[in-house]
Chains A and B, each alone.
Chain A
Amino acid sequence: MTRFLPDEFRIPAIGAGVIVLAALLPLFDDGFYLAMAVNIVLYAALCTAWALFSGPTHYISLATAAFFGLGTYAVALGNELLPFPLLVALGAAIAAVLAGFVGAATLRISGVYFVIFTLGLAELVRQIVSWAQVKWSTRMGLYVFTDFTEAHIYWMLLALTAAVFLTGWLINRSRLGFAMQIIGNDEAVARHCGIDTARLKIILFMISGAFIGMAGAIVAPRYLYVAPPSAFNPTISFLVVIMALLGGTRWLWGPLVGVIPFTIVMEFVSANFPNDTSIVIGIVFLVIVYVLPDGVTGRLEQLLARMRRTSTASKAATVKEAA
C-alpha cells in the first residue's frame, strides 16, 4: 500500500470515470430523477465522510446532524454577507471545531462516552441556536435566496463526494491511515508502537466533521427557508449510520453500496407509507446486527473467499484424481 503500483491507480481512475458520467445526469433530467440523484450523492458524501472516522475506530458517531446543521446555518446566516464558497469553508471550519471539541472531551476517555455525547448533540446545538435566535433576533428561521438550481447543487455535491473519496484514498495510503488501521486492530498495541491514539482519532473526526459541515452548507440553498428543527434533524445522523453500515465500512466505497439502494427504498417508503419510516429504519438496524454485521460488502467478501476456497479445493481434487 505504500508502493506505487500502477494497479493502485486503477480504482481512482474508475472512480473519476464514474463521477464524470454521473455529472452528465442533469443534461437528461431535471425533475424527479435529479432530485433523487441529489439525495443519493448527498448521502454518498455524508456516509463516506462518516466512515472515514467510524470505519477504522468502530465508534458510532451520531454527530452528523449537528455538523450538517451547522453547515446549513453558516450559509443561512452569512448568505447576504459573504460569497458562497467562503460560507462553505466556514461551515467546514465550524463543524471541525465542534468535532475537535467533542473529540477532546470524550475520545480520551472511552468510546461509550463518545456515543452518548453525540447522541444528543444535534438536539443540543438546535436548542442553543434557537435560544440565541430568539434572544438576538425576532424570527425563528432564515431565508436562503441564491441563484443555484438543483443541477448546480448536484454538481457541487458530486465534487464534494469526489473530494471525500480522494481524501479517504490519500489517508489510506498515508501514515495516518496505517495508524488508524493499527488502532482499529488493537489500541494498546498502537500506543506501544508510539501512536498518539487520542490525537489521531480527534484529527480524523475533525476531517470527517468538516466534510459533513460542507455538505450541509452546499444543500442549504435547497431549503429556501432554514429553521432549527429542520436544519438539525437527528434522523439524518441515524440514516447515515444505517446506510454506511449496510454497505460496510471496510472499504472506502463500501458505504456507497448501502446508500444507493437505501435512498431509493426510503424515497419509496416515505412516499407511500410516511408513518412507517421509523419501523423500516428499526428493522434495517436489526438486519445489520443479526444478518450483515460487516455490511453487504463484508458479506460479499466472505462469499468470494468461500467460493475461491471451494474452487481451489475442487481443483486439488481433480489433480489428485488425475494422478
Chain B
Amino acid sequence: MSAALSVTTVRKSFGGLVAVNDLSFEVERGELYGLIGPNGSGKTTMLNLISGALQPDAGEIKLAGATISGLAAHRIARLGVARTFQLVRVLPSMDAERNVMAGAVFGHRSLWGAELHELARELLALVGLRGREHVPVVAMTYIDQKRVELARAIASDPQVLLLDEWLAGLNPSELAIGIELIERLSRQGRTIIMVEHVMDAIRTLCGRCLVMSSGRLIKEGGVAEVLSDPEVVRAYLGDDDA
C-alpha cells in the first residue's frame, strides 16, 4: 500500500527566494505528522503546494499513490485534501452551520438536504460548538472561529487534513482543549499534517515530525529524537550564520 501522502523533491521559489527547496517526505495512513521550523522557513508554502493553492516549480506530490501536483486546488480538494489557514478564514456573511456545510457539498463528500444539516450539527458538536449553529461567525471569538474552520475542513471527510498553526493564539486552557480535539480526530483514524510552533503540542500529539529551515529539510524522524537534535536547536535559536 502506498503512503497517504508522498512529497518528492518539491521545490518552489518566489523570485530569487527559494521557499521550499527540494523537500521530500512521506506520511503514512492514520499518522499525525508534524511540520515545524522557524518563522519563514516555508511551512505554509509547503501546505499551499500540497493543497494546490500554489503549483510547485519541480518535484511531485502524490495522494495515496496518485499524482496531485499540477492539479487545480478544487480538484485536489475533491480528491480528499482539506485544510485550515494560518490566519483563520471563515465565511463572514454566514452562520456557523453554513460555514461547516460549505465543506461537505462540493468536495470529497457531496451531501445536500437534511443529511448535510445533520452532519454540520454533528461536527459543530464535535468541535465544541453544540447549539451554536445559527450564530453568525463574525460574532464569534477567535477560537470559536478556528473551531468552525476545523469543522469545515473535516466536513469533507478528507483523506489528508492539513492544519496550519491551528493551535496558535489560544490561551493555556483553550490549548489543552485544542490538543485533545486534534488527538480525538487522530484516533478516528485521520491522516493529519500539522504545522505548529507549540512544541508541547508536537511532543504530545505527533509520532514523527519534520523540521524545515530556509526551505530545506534539516531533520526528520521520531519527535523526541528530532527535538533534541543540536542542529534543530540551532535552527530554532536562529544562530545559523551559514
Contacts and interface: CB of A to CB of B under 8 A. Distances in A.
Whether chains A and B associate is yes
Interface in B73-101: 73-74, 77-78, 82-83, 85, 89, 91-94, 98, 101
B106 interface: yes
Given A175-B106, A182-B102, A191 B74 contact: yes
B106 A185 contact: no
Nearest to B153: A192
B77 A193 contact: yes
Interface string A172-194: 00010011011011101111111
For A3, A189, A194, the residue with the greatest tally of chain B CB atoms inside 10 Å of its CB is: A194
Nearest to B51: A192
A197 interface: yes
A181 B117 CA distance: 17
B103 A193 contact: yes
Contact of B156 (A188, A190, A193, A196): A193
Contact of B93 (A179, A181, A194): A181
A23 interface: no
A247 to B, nearest CB: 18
Contacts of B112: 2, 175
B93 A192 contact: no
B169 interface: no
A287 to B, nearest CB: 24
| A2, A182, A192, A195 pick with most chain B CB within 10 angstroms | A192
B91 A182 contact: yes
* Interface band, chain B: 20 to 34
Contacts of B105: 175, 178-179, 193
Contact of B74 (A2, A175, A181, A195): A195
B92 A185 contact: yes
Nearest to A175: B105
Contacts of A196: 72, 74
B242 interface: no
A184 B94 CA distance: 11
Interface residues of A, number: 20
B113 interface: yes
A169 to B, nearest CB: 17
Nearest to B113: A2
Given A2-B116, A2-B117, A185 B77 contact: no
B102 A178 contact: yes
Interface in A46-66: none
B52 to A, nearest CB: 8
Contacts of A195: 74, 106
A160 B73 CA distance: 38
Nearest to B79: A194
Contact of A3 (B52, B103, B114, B152): B114
A194 B72 contact: no
Most chain A CB within a 10 A radius of its CB, from B83, B106, B107, B114: B106
Nearest to B106: A194
Which of B77, B83, B113, B156 neighbours the largest number of chain A CB atoms within 10 Å of its CB?
B77
Given A2-B117, A175-B112, A189 B91 contact: yes
B152 A193 contact: yes
A164 B94 CA distance: 25
Contact of A184 (B78, B93, B117): B93
A193 B152 CA distance: 9
Contacts of A193: 74, 77, 102-103, 105-107, 152, 156
Nearest to A194: B107
B108 interface: yes
A294 to B, nearest CB: 12
B53 interface: yes
A185 B94 CA distance: 9
Interface string B102-129: 1101111000111011000000000000
A2 B74 CA distance: 23
A188 B113 CA distance: 25
Contacts of A182: 91, 102
A179 B52 CA distance: 19
Contacts of A3: 113-114, 117
B83 A192 contact: yes
A272 to B, nearest CB: 42
Contact of B73 (A179, A185, A191): A191
Given A3-B114, A3-B117, A194 B89 contact: no
B91 A185 contact: yes
Given A2-B112, A2-B117, A3-B114, A192 B82 contact: yes
13 contacts: A2-B112, A3-B113, A175-B105, A175-B106, A178-B102, A184-B93, A191-B52, A191-B73, A193-B105, A193-B107, A193-B152, A194-B77, A195-B106
Sorted from nearest, which 6 A-B pairs have the closest CB atoms? A194-B107, A185-B91, A194-B77, A194-B106, A191-B73, A194-B78
Interface of B: 51-53, 72-74, 77-78, 82-83, 85, 89, 91-94, 98, 101-103, 105-108, 112-114, 116-117, 152, 156
Given A192-B73, A194-B107, 12 more contacts: A3-B113, A175-B106, A181-B93, A184-B93, A189-B85, A191-B53, A192-B74, A193-B74, A193-B106, A194-B108, A195-B106, A196-B74
